[in-house]
Structure 1
Amino acid sequence: MRSALFDLDGTLLDTAPDFYRIICELAELYQQPTPLYQEIRQVASNGGRAMLTQAFGDQFSRNEESWLNEFLNRYRESPVKDGTLFEGFKEALEWLETQQIPWGVVTNKPRSMTDKVLEQLGLTERCSVSICPDEVKLAKPDPEGILLAIDKISASTAQTLYFGDHVRDIEAGRRAGVKTVACSFGYLAEGEDTASWSADFTLEKSADLKTFLIQHFDQQGSADV
């Protein structure tokens, strides 16, 4: 069976605006300079600790646990206010569903946060499978999560595409034996080149996802890989 699996932050969802909103709240709370949005966006795929380090530098290192806990608590309370699907993904997911091609999420985001984000964006019932670190022994770049997702939806590794915006996503997909798609529209560090990741494909614009899927999945139930 064909399937399409996605990383969450920076691939399926543009969640950086919500991360930035909370960073700005912390800047005001702790009387720190407000960082630029792009500074936070480019490290968003690396998690809260990386974003706080980027935003506040040495001040964060001196108050690491308390500031990180405040960030996480605020994010849990309000994970989706400004974030949304990337441009073009609404149409692409609808196309997958009309073709009866299951799609899912394999993320390093904890289950409690993943469920809340998917629910608030109305994706819970549409998503055929979601795998978080809670369900595996090793998170990405280990392939366990991708392989578990494929098993749960009875898909084939040879007919699965995995999309990600970080080198660990591509490594996980490659080790799982699926075709990998580097999403260069995601949360890449300044100057980072997805060509060095050795992905099977590169998707430069999120708006092109539907066209990409149509080109690589035919109508008879096989994958052009």
Structure 2
Amino acid sequence: MTKIRTVLFDLDGTLADTAPDLAHALNLLLVEEGKTALLYETIRPEVSHGASALVTLGFGKKPGDADFDRLRQRFLVLYTENLCRHTRLFDGIPALLQTLKKQGMNWGVVTNKPAFLTDPLMAQLRPDPAPACVVSGDTVANRKPHPEPMLHACTAAGSRPEQCLYVGDAERDILAGRHAGMKTLVALFGYINGHETPERWGADGMIRAPGEILDWLKQDE
């Protein structure tokens, strides 16, 4: 069996708990527009699906509807201004990254978040050791669930797809990883809503805390 050399993470809901700041930005926009702020518990499960999904949640509008593009752009401005107020690496991630380094593995990020948000957020989070690669939603032509960003990350990290493990909290993460030929794990601690069925996504496993990645790697040796 091929040994894993690189562990790749989705960003929102897997590497970092970004929901508090995304929820804050959405509620700022709702109040600006004369609407009532939503409960954090209502917003959190939708965070992994990006700005468009949050605008739809808050305003009931979908892409193509009147005002949708304006609301989405304003949301992105508000989020950019409040990018890392309360966002943190998930508990267990710093220790995990250090252990991966000690075991001779590197790590990286593959996210659908655009680079103008990803890059400053990663700079403020300052994970140690630094990632071998960061692939944003606009780094290559296609986004997850397409395998192109995953394969780009492999090249940047110096590993073949079969030497990579991808960890994410959305079905598109698992599909992208599988289509690229990687092993995949579902981060159950991420932003998964009650209507989703991660056990049906076809991942190689599911974890409830970041440290369980190490247990899975031992079992996969």
- Displacement of 1:125: 6.6
Counterparts of 1:5-84 in structure 2 under 5 Å? 5-57=8-60, 61-84=65-88
Cα distance between partner residues in 2 of 1:215 and 1:172: 20
- The 3-state SS of whatever aligns with 2:211 is helix
Residues 38-95 of structure 1 show CA distances to partners (whole Å, capped at 9, x for unaligned) of: 2211111111111121122259954212221111011122211111111211111111
Aligned amino acid, residue 141 of structure 1: P
**1:97-136 equivalence runs, <5 A:** 97-123=101-127, 126-136=130-140
- Whole-angstrom distance in 2 between the partners of 1:59 and 1:154: 40
Is the CA contact (8 Å cut-off) linking 2:29 and 2:78 kept in structure 1? no
Q: Percent of aligned pairs with the same residue?
A: 36
Distance 1:141 1:62 in 2: 28
Contact in 2 for aligned 1:105/1:131 (Cα 8 Å): yes
Q: Which runs of 5+ in 1 are unaligned?
A: none
Structure 2 stretches lacking a partner, 5+ long = none
TM-score, normalised via structure 2 length: 0.91
Compared CA separation, residues 108 and 59, structure 1 to 2 (3 A): closer
Which of 177, 200, 207 aligns to 1:173? It is 177
**CA spacing shift, 1:124–1:70, aligned 2, 3 Å:** farther
Paired residue type of 1:84? R
**Which amino acid in 2 is paired with 1:76?**
T
Instruction: Give the TM-score of the pair, scaled to structure 1.
Output: 0.89
Secondary structure of the 1:4 match is strand
Asked if the contact 1:6–1:163 (Cα under 8 Å) also holds between the matched residues in 2, the reply is: yes
Among 136, 140, 157, the alignment partner of 2:161 is 157
Following TM superposition, the consecutive aligned residue runs of length 4 or more in structure 1 with deviations greater than 4 angstroms are 58-62
The answer (yes or no) to whether the contact 2:185–2:206 under 8 Å persists in 1 is: yes
